[in-house]
Amino acid sequence: MLQFDNEISVLDEACPARQALNLVASKWNVLIIYAPAGGPCRFNQLQRTIGGITQKMLTQSLRQLEQDGILTRTVYPTIPPQVEYELTDLGKTLIAPLNALCNWAETYYADIERNRDEFRR
């Protein structure tokens, strides 16, 4: 069983690892973290880049990621105001593990699809 500090299991609600996994378990959060990996993005740019996300969901997710210290939000004093979102140093540390997960998915997605097809039969 996976444990944090040899005391708390990742399956325990109080486990810090479980809390961190909850942060990236959202499909939207993963995509929002990826989008500004190359540099700052504006809200509309994020919404266009992340197909299918509603304005409300993007707003909520951005606020949560900002609160968690994964993104910074910078407001520029222009008319209309320009807002950019950028990964923090902490947020940038998520790119390598998320890349590993994407590589795993690319390697094994055909197996997953085959298993789904077999299950349906």
pLDDT at 5: 53
- The residues spanned by each domain of the chain are 3-120
pLDDT at 95: 94
CATH topology of domain 3-120: Arc Repressor Mutant, subunit A (1.10.10)
66-112: pLDDT as tens digits: 999 999 999 999 998 899 999 999 999 999 999 998 899 999 999 99
- Under DSSP, is residue 41 helix (H, G, I), strand (E, B) or coil? strand
Question: Which distant-in-sequence residues (6+ apart) come within 8 Å of 63 by Cβ?
Answer: none
26-74: pLDDT as tens digits: 889 999 999 999 999 999 999 999 999 999 999 999 999 999 999 999 9
pLDDT at 13: 81
Cβ–Cβ < 8 Å for 37, 31: no
Please give the full DSSP string across 50-85, using - where no structure is assigned: STT--HHHHHHHHHHHHHTTSEEEEEE--SS-EEEE
